[in-house]
Amino acid sequence: MLAMQKKQNKKQGEQGRQGERFISLLPCLIALVSGILMGLTVAPVGAWFLAWIALAPLWVLVATSDKHKNQSPPAPPALFWGISYHGVALSWITGIHPMTWLGVPWLPSLAITLFCWGFISLLGGIFVAIWAAVMVRLAGQKPWLRILIGTAVWCGLESLWSAGPLWWSSLAYTQSPHNLVIVHLGQLSGPNTVTAAIVAVNGLIAEAYINRLSFSTRGCANGTLRERIASRREDTKISSVFFAPLRFVNKYLATATGLLITLHFIGFILSSRPIAQPPEAALKVGIVQGNIPNRLLRSSEGFRRAQENYTNGYLTLANQGVDAVLTPEGALPIFQRNLLETALVAAVKEKGVVAWIGAFGERGDSYTISLFTFNTKGEIVSRYDKAKLVPLGEYIPFEGILGKLVQRLSPLDAHQVAGSANQLFDTPFGRAIASICYESAFPEQFRRQAAAGGQFILSSSNDAHYTASMPFQHHAQDIMRAIETDRWSARATNTGYSAFVDPHGRTLWMSGYNTYETHAETIYRRQTKTLYVRWGDWLTPLLLISSGGAWLVIRGIKKFGNVGNP
C-alpha cells in the first residue's frame, strides 16, 4: 500500500514538473505564434490587418514578465517573436537555392541559403530582444510612458538596422500595397511614421489587456464583500447611462481605436489630394521585361536571347511613340566598353528614342551594377551605380579580414563594388531618382535624390532567382517609396513584376510573372517636396527625446518625493 502511494506521488510530481515546464515554455510559444502572424502580413499571404494586433501578445509578455515566477525571462520570447516574424516574411530567400547555375554544388548551395535565411532572422530576433530588455526596465512605469518609450525604441532600432547593409522587413511594409491610406503617413516622416503607428496601437491594446487583468485581480483580492457589492452597484448605475457595464469600458482600448481611426483619417486626407498632370510634364515611358532566367543569362545562349528580347522590345515601344525605354538590372550582362557594339544600342541610334540600359560599369579592376542613359544619338550621357549591394550575394563582408576562406564560400566574384552614396542621375528629361534592385528597401536613397531635384523614379531590378513572393514584396517597397517622395515610378524587372505606380501608390499596370512583356505608360515629372523629403525622419528623434525626457522627469519626481518623505 505504501509503495503504491509513493508511486502515485511520484507520478503526480512528474506531472506537476511537466506542467511547470509547459508553463515556462508557454510565453515562447505565444511569442512564436504572434511573430508568425506578423510574418503573414506580407506576400504571399498579405494579411496586412494582423499587423495591428500581432505585436500585442509580446508586449503583454514583456510588460508582465516580473509578475510571474514560472515565466521565461523576456529575452527568449522576444527572440522567438523576431525570428519567426522575419523568418516567415523573408522565407523567399530560400528561392536562391539551388545555385548550381553559378557553379555551386547542391549541398553547399543549401548550406549558404540556410545560413543567409537563419542569420537575417536571428538578427531580427536580436533587435526585438534588445527592445524587450528596454521594456522590462519600464515595467514599473505608467502605461502611457511604456507606450511612448516602447514606440520610440522600436523606431530607433529600425533606423539603426536600416543604416546597415542588411535591411528589408520593416513593420511599415506590412501595410503595402493593401492599406495605401496608412502608407501615406510616410509622407510625413518616412516609413517609421507607419511603424510608430503600428507599435503604438499594439501597445495600447496590450495595455488594455494588462489593465483589465489588474482590475480583475484587484476586484477579487481587495476590499470587503460589502465594498465590492457597492462598487458593482455603482458600475451598474453608471452603465445605465452608457448602456454597457463599466467593466467593459477600457480607456486604453478606446484610445487604441481612436488612434487607429485618426491615423487612417489623416492618411485618407493625404491620399485624396489631386495629382497635377500638366501636359508639359508628361513622359511616356516603355518597359521591357526580357524574361531571361538567370541560369541562362551567363551563357552565350542567354546573352543571345537577351539581345534579341530587349532589342525587339525596344523597337516595339519606339514604334508606339514612347519618349524613353527602361530595361531591368543587368539586362545586357556585359561591360560598358562593349555596350556600343550591341544590337540594342544600334537600335537606339536608328530610332532616336532614349534608353536606360542595365549593364556592368567599370571602376579600375572592379565592376559595378549600373544603369546607363543613352541619348537619341546612342551616346552614354549619365550612369548610376548600385550603391546598396547584397551581402554574400554581391560582395564579401569582411573580405580583408577573412580573405580566401570567405571567397571560397561565395558563389560570386568578390570584386564587385558599390557606387557612391551621393550620386545624382541626370537624364534628357531632367533629374531622375534611380534605384537598382535591393535599394528599394532603403527609403533614404530615394529621399536624398528627391530632395536634390529628382522628378520621377526609375527602378531597375532582377528578381529572377527568387520565389514569386519576393518580387511582390519588392513591388510593395517601391510603392512605399513612390508615396513617400510623391513621385511617379516606373519599375522594370527581368522576370516580374514590372509595374507603373502613381504618387498615391496606385498600380497603373503590373506585368505577369515569368513572362516576356512590353508596356508603355505616361508618367509625370514632379518637383513637389513632402515633409519627409524636406526634413527626413524627424519623428524618431522626436519620440526618443520626448520619451527620454518624460522618463527623466518622472524619475526625478519619484526621487524628490522619496527624499521629502523619509
The yes-or-no answer on residue 559 being catalytic is no
Query: With the CA atoms of 178, 182, 183 and 188 taken in that order, what torsion angle do they form, in degrees rounded to the nearest 10?
Result: 170
Closest alpha carbon to 483 in 192, 48, 184, 173: 184
CB 124 within 8 A of CB 171: no
Active-site pick, 116, 155, 158, 329: 329
Which residues, 6 or more positions from 162, have their beta carbon under 8 angstroms from its beta carbon? Answer: 170, 441, 442, 443, 444
Angstrom distance (rounded) from CA 426 to CA 149: 42
User: Hey, is 382 helix, strand or coil?
Assistant: strand
* Residue tagged 501597445 (cell numbers): 203
- The C-alpha cell at 297 is 543569362
Active-site pick, 158, 207, 386, 439: 386
User: Hey, is 187 helix, strand or coil?
Assistant: helix
Can you point out the beta strands (E) in 318-409? Answer: 324-326, 354-363, 366-374, 380-385
Count the residues in the chain.
Answer: 566
The yes-or-no answer on residue 155 being catalytic is no
Active-site pick, 437, 439, 484, 521: 437
- The C-alpha cell at 302 is 542567354
The gap from C-alpha 126 to its chain's centroid, in whole angstroms, comes to 17
Neighbouring C-beta atoms of residue 234, cutoff 10 Å: 11
Distances (CA, A) of 195 to 13, 159, 170, 257, 286: 47, 11, 7, 17, 34
Single-letter residue type at 263: L
Single-letter residue type at 69: K
Neighbouring C-beta atoms of residue 272, cutoff 10 Å: 10
CA contacts within 13 A on the Cβ side of 345? 18
- The C-alpha cell at 507 is 498600380
User: Hey, is 431 helix, strand or coil?
Assistant: strand
Angstrom distance (rounded) from CA 107 to CA 100: 10
- The C-alpha cell at 13 is 510530481
DSSP per-residue codes, 437-465: GGGGG-HHHHHHHHHTT--SEEEEE--TT
- The C-alpha cell at 372 is 546607363
- The C-alpha cell at 447 is 529621399
Residues annotated as part of the active site: 329, 386, 437
